[in-house]
Amino acid sequence: MKSIRIGFGFDTHQLVEGRELWLGGIKIEHHKGALGHSDADVLIHAICDALLGAANLRDIGFHFSNTDDRWKGIDSKILLLESCKLIYEKGYKISNIDSTLCLEAPKINPHITKMQTTLADCMQINSNDISIKATTNEHLGYVGRQEGVNAYATALIYMS
């Protein structure tokens, strides 16, 4: 019998001057970057939580604590790779990811194809199985004021 499971992930990070902006595994030129213990790639963190949630493997903070020096400044692609390893070790395969980035600036659409291929490489799946969407917050709230960035992701995993 085929077992299919769904997972959901959310993450948020502050946007501040003097930090690099890493989203979906790539560096994007911008005058602000996300603040965090790692490279603060909010999209990857949401995807990790969606994957871990689908397999009932707790969350990203449980596996990669933000007080652990091992993960300080780390490339979040390593956290994604490790999360996928946990999924694969439990016998699951990844069907697809759907995600949304929510930020006011910069424009994300020109970068989506590169994000998809970068994440697909990291997860060892087809880039056609990673959907990345982007939206603004219509100038509302902390996202609208460009003080922060949100990401949402769902993941479908299965065991055949």
Q: How many residues bind Mg ion (CB under 5 A)?
A: 2
- 77 makes contact with Mg ion (CB under 5 A): no
Rounded to 5°, the CA angle 153-110-36 comes to 50
- 41 makes contact with Mg ion (CB under 5 A): no
* Conformation bin of residue 82: beta by default, left when phi > 0, alpha when psi is -120 to 50: alpha
Give whichever of 55 and 153 is closer to Mg ion, judged by the CB atom: 153
Phi, then psi, of 4 in degrees rounded to 5: -115, 130
Give whichever of 23 and 123 is closer to Mg ion, judged by the CB atom: 23
Closest chain position to Mg ion (CB)? 45
CB of 55 to Mg ion, least distance (A): 19
- 45 makes contact with Mg ion (CB under 5 A): yes
Q: Given CA atoms 117, 26, 48, 132 in this order, what sign does their dihedral have? A: negative
- 39 makes contact with Mg ion (CB under 5 A): no
